[in-house]
């Protein structure tokens, strides 16, 4: 495994270097379980007593790990690499009682567990809760392992759990305040839309456009239409502007009547899963139902019970 060349601010290495190390009389002797003949443990430097071999089962995940999704296939590939070439880079942990809490290297730890290894090389440091959370976030950011929602949740944890301002949180991970602020805004999207973003079905650019739509029901419809129609960010911007205009089309009505029309639009749109406009006057009106292609038209016709 080749360490990432990307650096954020001071970088994970400098933060770890600045942390206190756990003193040891001497490094423990690594032991590979008899079940495997693979030399998976690197030579631990005797001049750096903070490096030691620890029991795999004594390691616990970091509760503030920003990464939520771990791809089993990629971990299997990593396990195969460790089996073939050995584990080049130790994990980083801090001691909590008789256990060790992961700070960096959860994928490596999971891969070693998958291989059934009993010990794993680790660097044991002393770190506060805040430092542990920051280092876990930085490692994932440097490796580009986080999806946009996970990154946002990581920043939110720093702000919420450690009473940091957005600017302070940004400084800790080498990001500007605006970057943190924009990331946190993504958490204002509905859970369903966050799911689309996490899975890569929509981009961060799409998400930023959706945030411009104040009506949550319209946001959801636009997000679904973006995926179904394969819209670009520019396509979505155009449709968002149309949605915004539709919100004001009945603004000359009495407030109570406009509210009823808006609610009717939402209910029809939710039922048909498409954008709907209701243009109403006391004497006449019309309902405009949008569709996207022949298949979408057929779908709507079937939902309306209209047979060809």
Consecutive H or E run containing 229: helix 216-229
The single residue of 106, 139, 151, 262 carrying the catalytic annotation is 106
Question: Which DSSP state fits 56?
Answer: G
| Runs of H (alpha helix) within 38-128 | 72-85, 106-114
Q: Quote the CA–CA distance of 306 and 287 in Å, as a whole number.
A: 16
Active site residue 302: no
Q: Quote the CA–CA distance of 38 and 285 in Å, as a whole number.
A: 76
- Within 8 A by CB and 6+ apart from 99, the residues are 58, 59, 60
- Within 8 A by CB and 6+ apart from 31, the residues are 53, 118, 119
How many of the other CB atoms lie within 10 Å of CB of 29? 10
Q: What positions carry a catalytic annotation? A: 106
């Amino acid at each position: 495994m080749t360490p990432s060349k990307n650096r954020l601010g001071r970088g994970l290495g400098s933060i770890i270097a600045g942390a206190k190390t756990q003193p040891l009389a001497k490094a423990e002797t690594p032991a590979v379980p008899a079940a495997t003949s693979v030399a998976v443990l690197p030579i631990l430097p005797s001049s750096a007593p903070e490096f030691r071999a620890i029991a795999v089962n004594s390691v616990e995940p970091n509760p503030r790990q920003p990464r939520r999704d771990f791809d089993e296939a990629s971990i299997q590939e990593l396990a195969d690499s460790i089996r073939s070439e050995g584990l080049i880079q130790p994990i980083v942990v801090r001691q909590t009682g008789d256990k060790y809490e992961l700070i960096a290297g959860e994928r490596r730890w999971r891969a070693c567990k998958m291989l059934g290894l009993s010990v794993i090389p680790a660097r044991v440091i002393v770190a506060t809760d805040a430092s542990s959370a920051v280092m876990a976030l930085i490692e994932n950011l440097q490796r580009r392992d986080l999806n946009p929602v996970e990154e946002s949740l990581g920043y939110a944890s720093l702000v919420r759990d450690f009473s940091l301002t957005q600017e302070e949180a940004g400084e800790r991970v080498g990001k500007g305040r605006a970057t943190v602020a924009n990331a946190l805004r993504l958490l204002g999207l509905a859970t369903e839309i966050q799911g689309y973003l996490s899975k890569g079905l929509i981009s961060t650019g799409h998400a930023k456009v959706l945030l411009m739509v104040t009506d949550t029901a319209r946001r959801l419809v636009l997000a679904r239409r973006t995926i179904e129609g394969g819209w670009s960010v520019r396509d979505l911007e155009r449709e968002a502007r149309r949605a915004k205009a539709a919100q004001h089309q009945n603004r000359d009505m009495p407030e109570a009547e406009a509210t009823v029309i808006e609610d009717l639009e939402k209910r029809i749109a939710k039922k048909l899963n498409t954008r709907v406009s209701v243009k109403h006057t006391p004497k006449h009106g019309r309902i405009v139902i949008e569709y996207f292609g022949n298949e979408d038209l057929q779908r709507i016709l079937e939902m309306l019970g209209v047979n060809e």
